[in-house]
Amino acid sequence: MSPERRRWWPARLDYGLLWATVAICLVSWLALLSATRWNGGDEAYRQAVYISLGWLLAAGLTALDPRRLAVLTPWLYLGSLGLLAAVLVPGVGQTANGSQRWIELGGVVFQPSELMKLVLVLVLARQLGLARHDPEEPFRPAARGGVFLTALVLTGVPFLLIAGQPDLGTALVLIAICLVMLFVAGGSVVYLAGLVTTGLGVLPYVLKEYQRDRLLVFMNPELDPRGMGYSLVQSKTAIGSGGVLGKGLFSGHLTQHGFVPENWTDFIFTVVGEEMGFFGTCGFLCLFVVLLGTMVRIAHRAGDGYGGLLVTGVFAMLAFQLFVNVAMTLGLAPVVGLPLPFSSYGGSAMLVNLASVGVVAGVAFHGRKDGR
C-alpha cells in the first residue's frame, strides 16, 4: 500500500478532468436545448437524464480499480461482440437512415457500437499493457509481432461488424483507437504506416455507393446543393454567420428555425458556432484541449503500461471524434456521421463517453504517482 492510497479520497480526484467534463456537458446541453427548443426540446430533457446516469456510471468507474476492470474485460469484449452480431440479425436490430445500429434491451434502445469503442480501449489496454514484456523492450509491448497482430485481430472483428451495419464513422473510430494505442505502445512505425497506406488504398473499393458520393460532395458541395451538400452549406453558413460574438443563445435564426439539418446530432457544433460565435467555438475547443491535456498528464503519471494505455485509448477515441466531427461541420472533412462527444444527442454515446472519463478518472484515482 502506497502512502497516497491512504489520502482522503476527494484529494485523489482529478479536478481538471472533472471540471472540464462538467463544463463541456453544460455547454453541450445548452446547445442541444437550443437546437431542439423549437420542436419541444424533448431530446434535451432526455439527454439530461442520460447525463445524470452517465455521471453515476463515471463515479462508479472512478471508484473501481482499473486492474479489476481488466479481469472483466474479456467478458465485456465477448458480450459486446455478441450484441454487435445481434444487431445484424434481422428482427433484432433496428434500422434507421438505412443502417442497422440499434438494439432493444429491456425497453431501452441501445447502440452496441458505441459500447464497443470503450470496450476496445479496455481490451487493447489489457492486451498491450498487461502482456508479458520483452525483457529488452520493457516499454514497447507492441514491438512484438505477436502482440501487434493480436491487437489487429481484436480490432478487426468489431470493425467488420460495425462497418457492415453500415456505420463507417464508428468503425473508423475503432481504427483510430487501435492505431494510436499501437503507436504509443511501441508498435513499429513502418508497420503502422504500411497499415494506413493499405487501408487508404483499399478504401475506394470497399466504400458503398452513398459513401463515395459523400466524399465527392465533400470535395465539391455545389455538386448537390439541395441534397447532401445542403447540410454542409447550411452548416458552414450557420457557423460563419455567428461571427465573433455569436447571435446569442437561443437567438441563432438558422438554428432556431430548422435550417441546419441534424443540428441536434451530428451537426450540433453549428449551434455553438452560430449562437456563441468565435469566442464560443474556441472556448468549447479549449475545454476539450483541457480535458485531453489532463488525460495526457494522467497517462504520464499512471506509472504502469496498462493505465497509461487505457487513458491513451480514451484520448484517441475522444480526440478523433472531436476532430472529425468539427472538421465535418466546417467543411474540412467528409460527412461521415460521427457524433460530437458529450454533445450530440444520443444516450448510448453519452453513457459511453462519460464512462470513459470515469475509467480515466479511475486511473488517476488509483494511480501510483498520484499526488506526488
Partner 1 sequence: MLFRLRVVAWLTLVAVAVLAARLHTMQVLEAKLFDQRARDTSLVVEREPAPRGRLYDRRGRLVVSNQPYYELFVVPAELEGGLTALEQAVGENFQPRLEKALREAPLERLVLKRNLDAGELTAAVQLARSVPGVYLHAGARRRYLYGKTAAHLLGYVGEITAQELRQQRRHGYAMGDLVGKAGLEKQYDRLLRGEKSVHHVQIDVLGRTVRSLEARRPIPGMELHLTLDMTLQTVAEQALAETLKELARRNGERNGGAVVALEPSSGRVLALASLPEFDPRPFARGIKSSEYTALMTDPAAPMVNRAVHSAFSPGSTFKMVTASGALQEGLCTPSSVFSCGGSYGGANCFVTSGHGAIGFEGSLAHSCDVVYYRLGDLLGIQRLHRYCAAYGLGSPTGIDLPEETGGLLPDPAWKQEALGEAWYGGDTINMSIGQGFLLVTPLQMAVATAAVANGGDLYRPYLVERVVSSHGGRHLSAQPRPVRKLPIKPEWLSAVRQGMRGAVLYGTSTAADSPLAPVAGKTGTVETGGRNHVWFVSFAPYQKARIVVVVFLEKSGGYGGSLAAPIARQVLDAFLGDKP
Q: Which of 16, 30, 327, 368 binds partner 1 (CB under 8 A)?
A: 327
Binding to partner 1 by residue 241, rule CB under 8 A?
yes
* Contact residues for 289 (Cβ-Cβ < 8 A; gap 6+): none
Residue with cell 476527494: 10
Q: How far is the CB of 242 from partner 1 (least distance, A)?
A: 6
Pick the stretch among 56-64, 99-107, 118-126, 253-261 that binds partner 1 (CB under 8 A). 253-261
Pick the stretch among 2-10, 27-35, 295-303, 351-359 that binds partner 1 (CB under 8 A). 295-303
Pick the stretch among 153-161, 283-291, 347-355, 364-372 that binds partner 1 (CB under 8 A). 283-291
Residue number, 84 or 260, with CB nearest to partner 1: 260
For 94: left if phi > 0, alpha if psi spans -120 to 50, otherwise beta; the answer is beta
Q: How far is the CB of 216 from partner 1 (least distance, A)?
A: 21
| 266, three cell numbers | 451530428
| DSSP, residue by residue, 121-157 | HHHHHHHHHSSPPBTTBTT-GGGSHHHHHHHHHHHHH
Are the C-beta atoms of residues 73 and 115 closer than 8 Å to each other?
no
Q: Which of 273, 307, 339, 341 binds partner 1 (CB under 8 A)?
A: 273
# residues contacting partner 1 (CB under 8 A): 49
- The HSE-up count of residue 337 (CA atoms within 13 Å, CB side) is 17
Binding to partner 1 by residue 308, rule CB under 8 A?
yes
Residues 20-39 that bind partner 1 (CB under 8 A): 38
Q: How far is the CB of 96 from partner 1 (least distance, A)?
A: 21
Residue with cell 462527444: 341
Q: Which of 285, 290, 368, 371 binds partner 1 (CB under 8 A)?
A: 285
Binding to partner 1 by residue 267, rule CB under 8 A?
no
Closest CA to 111 of 60, 43, 161, 48: 161
Residue number, 74 or 225, with CB nearest to partner 1: 225
Q: With b meaning 16 or more CB within 10 Å and e meaning fewer, what string describes 162-180?
A: bbebbbbbbbbbbbbbbbb
Are the C-beta atoms of residues 295 and 17 closer than 8 Å to each other?
yes
The binding track of 152-191 with respect to partner 1, each residue x by CB under 8 A or -, is ----------------------------x--xxxx-----
Are the C-beta atoms of residues 248 and 275 closer than 8 Å to each other?
yes
Binding to partner 1 by residue 130, rule CB under 8 A?
no
Binding to partner 1 by residue 307, rule CB under 8 A?
no
Q: How far is the CB of 58 from partner 1 (least distance, A)?
A: 22
Are the C-beta atoms of residues 268 and 254 closer than 8 Å to each other?
no
| 31, three cell numbers | 446547445
Q: Point out which residues bind partner 1 (CB under 8 A).
A: 38, 139-140, 180, 183-186, 234, 236-244, 253-254, 256-259, 273, 277-278, 281-282, 285, 288-289, 292-293, 296, 299-300, 305, 308, 312, 315-316, 319, 322-323, 326-327, 330, 332
